[in-house]
Amino acid sequence: MQFDEMTSKMADGNGFIAALDQSGGSTPKALKGYGIEEDAYSGDEEMFGLIHAMRSRIITSPCFTGEKVIGAILFERTMDGTVDGKPTPQALVERGVVPFIKIDKGLEDEANGVQLMKPMPELDALLTRAKALGVFGTKERSVINSANREGIAAVVKQQFEVGRQVLSHGMMPIIEPEVNIKSETRAECDQILLEETLKALDALPEGQQVMLKLSLPTKPGLFDPLVDHPKVLRVVALSGGFKRPEACIELAKNRGIIASFSRALLEDLRHQMSDDEFNRSLGGAINEIHAASTAKAHSPA
C-alpha cells in the first residue's frame, strides 16, 4: 500500500485499529495479562523479547488481516523489530494492515486536572525513521482527569502542536486526549474536550487532516460533530479500562467511530494456549470488535 491507499483505507475501511503499543511502564502488566509473571524474565531485554513474541504471534495469526483489522499501532521497539524475518511495518502492510507508531514518552504529573505529554526532543528523528520504514502515522496520548477548561485547553493545544510536527513529516497523527472513564466529571470533560477540539480543528490549515482517538462519551453521539468534520480523517475510540463486552456496547452507540482497542482486544489471550486456541480466541475478539465498529446500534432519540 502507498500513502494514498493507506489514507483511503483509514477514511473508509470497514474495520478497526489494533493497539499493540504497550510501552516500558505497561509491559509487565501486559505480560501478566498474557500469563507471563515477572519472575519468568530478568531485565528489560528479556521482557521486551517476550512482548515482541506476543505481538508477532498476534500479527501472524490467520485472523489478523486487513479484512477486519485495518490498522495497528506499534511501540517503537516493535516497529524496529521483525516479524517472520521482515520489518514489522512491512509485515503489517503485506497483511493489508496500516502501521502506526506510538510516539509519546509518557505523561507529566497532573496539573489543572490533566496530564500533559512529556517532552519529545528526539521526535523529528523518530518520525524520519518511521516514515522510512513505511509507517503511515502516529499516536500520542494525554490524559484528562477532571473538568478543568484551562487544563483541557492545554492538552488540546499540545496535542495539535505535536500533530502539526507529525504532518510536516508527511505522516498522519492520531491525536489522543483520553478522558479518564473513572472521572467524577466525565460528562463535563467530554463536552469541554469537544468544544476545544472543534476550535483546534477549525484552526488547522485547509487541506490538512488528523485522526482522533477518544474515550467513549457518556452521551452517545456527542462526538458526531468530530466524525463529520472535514479536517478529521477518522475518529477511533479507546476502551479506556472497559472490558470488551461493555466497550463494544458503548462503541456501537456512536456512529462513525471505530475501535482502537488494546486491553479489550487482548484480554482473553494467554501464552499457554495452543496455536488453535490462541487463533480462535483472537478471532472471536476481532469479530466482536469489528461488529461494534461497523454495525451500529440506533442512537436513542
**Domain extents in the chain:** 3-294
pLDDT top residue among 44 and 95: 95
Residue 125, pLDDT above cutoff 70: yes
Per-residue pLDDT, averaged over 233-259, amounts to: 94
pTM: 0.94
Structure-block grid coordinates of residue 253: 452507540
pLDDT for 174: 98
Phi-psi region of 113 (alpha: psi -120 to 50; beta: other; left: phi over 0): left
| 300: confidence class by pLDDT, cuts 50, 70, 90 | very low
| Nearest 10 degrees: Cα torsion 117, 123, 128, 133 | -50
State pLDDT tens for residues 57-92. 999 999 999 999 999 999 999 999 999 999 999 999
Mean pLDDT across the chain: 94
| 28: confidence class by pLDDT, cuts 50, 70, 90 | confident
Residue numbers annotated as active site:
176, 213
The CA distance from 131 to 165, in Å, is 13
pLDDT for 24: 61
Topology of 3-294 in CATH?
Answer: TIM Barrel (3.20.20)
pLDDT for 225: 98
| 44: confidence class by pLDDT, cuts 50, 70, 90 | confident
**Which residues share a beta bridge with 18?**
72, 261
| 108: confidence class by pLDDT, cuts 50, 70, 90 | very high
| 149: confidence class by pLDDT, cuts 50, 70, 90 | very high
Which one, of 40, 38, 16, lies nearest residue 27 by Cα?
38
Report DSSP letters for 39-77, one per residue: GG--HHHHHHHHHHHHHHHHHTSTT-STTTEEEEEE-HH
Residue 198, pLDDT above cutoff 90: yes
The CA distance from 219 to 131, in Å, is 37
Instruction: List CB contacts of 178: < 8 A, sequence separation 6 or more.
Output: 141, 142, 143, 144, 213, 214, 215, 238, 240
pLDDT for 22: 74
- The CA R_g of the chain, rounded to the nearest whole Å, is 18
State pLDDT tens for residues 202-225. 999 999 999 999 999 999 999 999
Residue 272, pLDDT above cutoff 70: yes
pLDDT for 27: 84
Per-residue pLDDT, averaged over 144-165, amounts to: 98
